[in-house]
Amino acid sequence: MRGVCGKDETVANLQDVLLYALKGLSYVAAAARKVGVNDETVGRAIYEGLFATITNANFDKAVFITRIRETIAIREELKKKLSAKGGALPGKAPACVTFNAKTEIEMLDIWSAASFLAIENPDVRALRSLVIFGLKGMAAYVEHAENLGKSDAGVIEFMERALAATIDDSLDAAALTALVLETGKYGVNAMALLDGANTSAYGNPEPTTVQLGVRKNPGILISGHDLKDLEELLEQTAGTGVDVYTHGEMLPAHYYPAFKKYGNFVGNYGNAWWKQVEEFEAFNGPVLFTTNCIVPPKDSYKARIFTTGESGFPGCSHIADRTDGGKKDFSAIIELAKKCLAPKELETGSIVGGFAHAAVDAVAPLVVDAVKKGAIKRFFVMAGCDGRMKSREYYTDFAKAIPKDTIILTAGCAKYRYNKLNLGDIGGIPRVLDAGQCNDSYSLALTALKLKDAFGAGSVNDLPISFNIAWYEQKAVIVLLALLFLGFKNIHLGPTLPAFLSPNVAKVLVENFGIAGIGSVEDDVKLFMGA
Phi, psi of 312 (to 5 degrees): 180, 150
Give, as one character, the DSSP assignment of residue 167: T
For residue range 128-184, what is the model confidence (pLDDT) as tens digits? 999 999 999 999 999 999 999 999 999 999 999 999 999 999 999 999 999 999 999
As a whole number of angstroms, the distance between CA 475 and CA 110 comes to 25
Give, as one character, the DSSP assignment of residue 308: E
CA-based nearest residue to 193, from 140, 250, 132: 140
pTM score: 0.95
309 in the same domain as 176: no
User: Is 217 within a domain?
Assistant: yes
178 in the same domain as 286: no
User: Is 50 within a domain?
Assistant: yes
Average per-residue pLDDT in the chain?
94
User: Is 489 within a domain?
Assistant: no
CB 63 within 8 A of CB 52: yes
For residue 257, what are the CA distances in angstroms to 100, 203, 208, 213, 253?
Answer: 49, 6, 9, 21, 9
222 in the same domain as 172: no
Q: Residue 83 belongs to a domain with what CATH number? A: 1.20.1270.20
Mark which of 338, 356, 387 sits at the end of a domain: 338
β-bridge mates for residue 492, sequence order = 468, 516
User: Is 234 within a domain?
Assistant: yes
For residue range 415-426, what is the model confidence (pLDDT) as tens digits? 999 999 999 999
Mark which of 291, 317, 338 sits at the end of a domain: 338
Would you say residue 452 has pLDDT above 90? no
What residue numbers bound the domain in which 239 lies?
A: 208-338
167 in the same domain as 40: yes
User: Is 333 within a domain?
Assistant: yes
For residue range 380-398, what is the model confidence (pLDDT) as tens digits? 999 999 998 999 999 999 9
Number of domains in the chain: 2
As a whole number of angstroms, the distance between CA 263 and CA 253 comes to 14
215 in the same domain as 191: no
Phi, psi of 44 (to 5 degrees): -65, -40
User: Is 373 within a domain?
Assistant: no
Give the length of the chain. 531
Phi, psi of 117 (to 5 degrees): -70, -10
User: Is 487 within a domain?
Assistant: no
Would you say residue 501 has pLDDT above 80? yes
Mark which of 180, 201, 222 sits at the end of a domain: 201
CA-based nearest residue to 395, from 471, 498, 501, 464: 471
292 in the same domain as 170: no
User: Is 401 within a domain?
Assistant: no
225 in the same domain as 157: no
Q: Residue 224 belongs to a domain with what CATH number? A: 3.40.50.2030
CA-based nearest residue to 190, from 230, 149, 148, 135: 135
CA atoms in the 13 A half-sphere facing the CB of 467: 29
Number of neighbouring beta carbons within 10 Å of residue 118: 12
Q: Which long-range contacts does 39-45 make (Cβ < 8 Å, 24+ apart)?
A: 39/74, 39/78, 39/81, 41/74, 42/74, 42/78, 42/160, 43/156, 43/157, 43/159, 43/160, 44/146, 45/70, 45/71, 45/74
Mean pLDDT of 444-458: 87
141 in the same domain as 73: yes
Would you say residue 344 has pLDDT above 80? yes
133 in the same domain as 28: yes
Phi, psi of 231 (to 5 degrees): -55, -45
CB 156 within 8 A of CB 142: yes
161 in the same domain as 230: no
170 in the same domain as 48: yes
Would you place residue 202 in the very low, low, confident or very high pLDDT band (cuts 50, 70, 90)?
very high
Q: What is the pLDDT of residue 1?
A: 64
For residue 47, what are the CA distances in angstroms to 188, 346, 382, 503?
Answer: 16, 37, 28, 30
225 in the same domain as 182: no
296: exposed, middle or buried (C-beta count within 10 Å: 0-12, 13-18, 19+)? Answer: middle
